Structure 1
Amino acid sequence: MLNIADTLHRWCSEARPFALATVVDVTGSAPLPVGTSVAVDEHGNAVGSISGGCVEGAVYELCRQVLHDQGPPQRAWFGYSDDDAFAVGLTCGGELDVLVQRIDPATRPHLGAALAEVAGGRPAAVAQVVDGPDKLIGATLSILGDSWISDGSMAAGPTGQAVADRATAQLRAGRTALVWLGGDADTCPERLSVLVHVAATRPRMLIFGAVDFATALSQAGRFLGYRVTVCDARPVFATTARFPHADEVVVDWPHRYLEHTEVDSRTAVCVLTHDSKFDIPLLRQALELPVGYVGAMGSRRTHEERLRLLREAGVAQDRLARLRSPIGLDLGARMPEETAISITAEIIAHTNHGTGLPLTLGTGPIHRPGDQAVDECPAQRPLLTP
């Protein structure tokens, strides 16, 4: 639902009821991920998309029906039609499981508050129960700062706390996910499937080395939604004029800056200096941190020498295995702009567990919806039936 947060925030502020259709499960090559929503208000106004056009008409009519009937949430399944590819179905071959429910902002003030945070560019999460006891289907809970607020069905007791704890964890990880939890009388008696919608702060890209390649990479990183920092110990090169696309330019020794700055599992560290007096202390520290990606520029000869020096500095082999060097995918890149695409392509593949191979050489689904799901207890996973 956070893909349409601006409009939903306005509708909530106007106390305007609406029907919300959300993708809660994906099989095969569906065009949009779990958590994507369409909403329809009482005047027939629609916002959002869940399939890139394949099933929008059918979803729209279902939303109108749910909004008019004011009944319980409904589930709908959409898949490819072998008989008629232009019938209601996904011509890309995927399958969508969609939850449609009526939202009355007056009874869920916390939802409007969460949407206001997202619309304002601040982090928030909304947990939506998609499977479990009938009384909880469609229940929502919002994470706002260090607190959580829910509608009445989860307002008290261990169930609300368990959902809030998982939603908080997903917010910290920065990823929307379908999670399964419960079945424990002490923590969460009901067995639930919960879709946690996350709007997190922008992940960080730390670029070390104020070189021409860093100029192009900072622009590519900004385009991908990263908060980009360029750091170099040389003030003549580390200037905002040279890096207009960076969110900040820092003059400091790279390892000293990395020691004191904030990083997390989504942070990408890109070392472009290929100078051992900068690289070795920086990489020695970076490889010990819980960051998502560490890459270093240089030739294969530079890489081998770098590995030798890192071993001499005491870096263990399991840490060295985290280093992406030479940095980037083999695209035949030479120019800084091409190299920036090579580097960001590797970061995307690494983050999403992609192979980096041409799709023409692969088999099976193009998208990997399973990577979005976190299963607390696979043996007790509930069935997601339409």
Structure 2
Amino acid sequence: MLNIADTLHRWCREARPFALATVVDVHGSAPLPVGTSVAVDEDGNAVGSLSGGCVEGAVYELCRQVLHDRGAPQRAWFGYSDDDAFAVGLTCGGELDVYVQRIDPATQPHLSTALAEIVRGRPAAVAQVLDGPDNLLGPTLSVLGDDHVAHGGVDGGPVDRAVADRARALLRAGRTARVDIGGEGDGCRERLSVLFHVHASRPRLLVFGAVDFAAALSQAGRFLGYRVTVCDARPVFATTARFPYADEVVVEWPHRYLERASVDERTAVCVLTHDAKFDIPLLRVALGLPVGYVGAMGSRRTHDERLRLLRQEGVTDAQLARLRSPIGLDLGARTPEETALSITAEIIAQTNQGTGRPLTLITGPIHRPPRPRRPVAVT
């Protein structure tokens, strides 16, 4: 849904009914992730893509059928058959589970509000019930803004509360996901499978050290969708002119800034100063926070000395195990731009729990379903 939010917002404002086809499960090397959507309106206009072309025709016809019948949502499975090379499926060998439902904006006005927030870049989540009792299929629920206020609903009771609570948790994590909720011992007794389309605020990339590597890293981070902050205690170096791709440039002692910064498990902290008077107090703070990535630049000799000083400051071995130092993947990087690529590649690999190894040396699917993030241990 998020991939076509601007068009859906316009259709909702125009009170134009449409069929929404969404990838709700992926197996193997499917090209696009769960939550990707195609929509078709009553005039036959289509927007979006589910497979880069492999199954678009079949999905389009299914959307037209759902719009015409005005009935319950439908499911379709698309895979590749070796027995019939011309079957509707994915030539890449993957499998898609697609959920198609009719959306009437007049009956779900909250959806237009949620899409407006998404188009403006503000946090919002939209929940669709995929599996459960027939009477719960079709309506959607939205959770909006940093205050996480719920709008719309599925049953007006315990199901709405359970769905809204999970939407708030996924908004904090910044993750679109399909989740099973409900059952005995839960506040929601109905067993449901729910897809949460989550548009969160941008994750943060905190770059400490106003050096040439920071300039390249801020540009790479901006390209990847991070909200980039460059911080350094030296005002002559920490200027907006030197870091045009940073969202903010802060002149302050790094550890003091980090102590009051808003961070979460999506936050990446990159320490590029390789100067003990900055590094040690900063890393002591960073390794005690629930951030997703902490990396520090420096040689192996610098790293060994850094570990010794951090242990003197009371940093535990469990905390030190989270430190990526020397920072980045082994790409043979030398220039600031190559080093920025090395660092961001490591951040991506850690975020998605990838190996960082060449795909030619790995067997199995290229596109793996995202695994739940492991809790960050801070002590």
Provide TM-score, normalisation by structure 2.
Answer: 0.96
Q: Which residue of 2 aligns with 1:4?
A: 4
Alignment of 1:16-31 (within 5 A): 16-31=16-31
Give secondary structure in 2 for the equivalent of 1:230: strand
Matching residue within 147, 150, 153 for 1:148: 150
Q: Which residue of 1 aligns with 2:45?
A: 45
Alignment of 1:92-103 (within 5 A): 92-103=92-103
Structure 1, residues 128-185: CA drift from partner, whole Å, max 9, x if none?
A: 101111111233100023321124x42x111110011001110111100111110136
Q: Which residue of 2 aligns with 1:291?
A: 291
Ranges in structure 2 where 5+ consecutive residues have no aligned partner: 375-379
Task: Report the Cα offset of residue 209 of structure 1.
Answer: 0.3
Task: Report the Cα offset of residue 35 of structure 1.
Answer: 0.6
Give secondary structure in 1 for the equivalent of 2:72: coil
Q: Which residue of 1 aligns with 2:183?
A: 183
Please tell me the residue identity of whatever aligns with 1:114: A
State the aligned residue count: 372
Kept in 2: contact 1:176–1:372 (CA 8 A): no
Q: Which residue of 2 aligns with 1:245?
A: 245
Alignment of 1:59-78 (within 5 A): 59-78=59-78
Q: Which residue of 2 aligns with 1:212?
A: 212
Task: Report the Cα offset of residue 87 of structure 1.
Answer: 3.2
Taking the aligned partners of 2:130 and 2:116, their CA distance within structure 1 comes to 23
Taking the aligned partners of 1:134 and 1:242, their CA distance within structure 2 comes to 58
Taking the aligned partners of 2:332 and 2:109, their CA distance within structure 1 comes to 53
Taking the aligned partners of 2:189 and 2:204, their CA distance within structure 1 comes to 38
Q: Which residue of 1 aligns with 2:332?
A: 332
Taking the aligned partners of 2:173 and 2:297, their CA distance within structure 1 comes to 27
Larger RCO (CA under 8 A, 6+ residues apart): 1
Give secondary structure in 2 for the equivalent of 1:371: coil
Q: Which residue of 2 aligns with 1:352?
A: 352
2:221 aligned with 1:221, yes or no? yes
Task: Report the Cα offset of residue 83 of structure 1.
Answer: 2.8
Give secondary structure in 1 for the equivalent of 2:371: helix
Please tell me the residue identity of whatever aligns with 1:279: D
Structure 1, residues 94-130: CA drift from partner, whole Å, max 9, x if none?
A: 1000000100000111111100110111110001101
Please tell me the residue identity of whatever aligns with 2:175: R
Kept in 1: contact 2:352–2:370 (CA 8 A): no
Structure 1, residues 32-79: CA drift from partner, whole Å, max 9, x if none?
A: 010110000011111111111111111001001110111110000000
Please tell me the residue identity of whatever aligns with 1:82: D
Q: Which residue of 2 aligns with 1:203?
A: 203
Ranges in structure 1 where 5+ consecutive residues have no aligned partner: 375-386
Taking the aligned partners of 2:372 and 2:91, their CA distance within structure 1 comes to 23
Task: Report the Cα offset of residue 85 of structure 1.
Answer: 3.8
Q: Which residue of 2 aligns with 1:382?
A: none
Task: Report the Cα offset of residue 14 of structure 1.
Answer: 0.2
Give secondary structure in 1 for the equivalent of 2:92: coil
Task: Report the Cα offset of residue 294 of structure 1.
Answer: 0.2
2:338 aligned with 1:342, yes or no? no
Taking the aligned partners of 2:69 and 2:161, their CA distance within structure 1 comes to 32
Give secondary structure in 2 for the equivalent of 1:105: coil
Please tell me the residue identity of whatever aligns with 2:152: S
Task: Report the Cα offset of residue 273 of structure 1.
Answer: 0.3
Structure 1, residues 228-283: CA drift from partner, whole Å, max 9, x if none?
A: 00000111110111000000001110001101111111000000000000000000
Q: Using the aligned pairs only, state the percent identity.
A: 81
Pick closer, same or farther for the CA change 1:58–1:306 going to 2, 3 Å: same
Give secondary structure in 2 for the equivalent of 1:96: strand
Please tell me the residue identity of whatever aligns with 1:222: R
Kept in 2: contact 1:297–1:327 (CA 8 A): yes
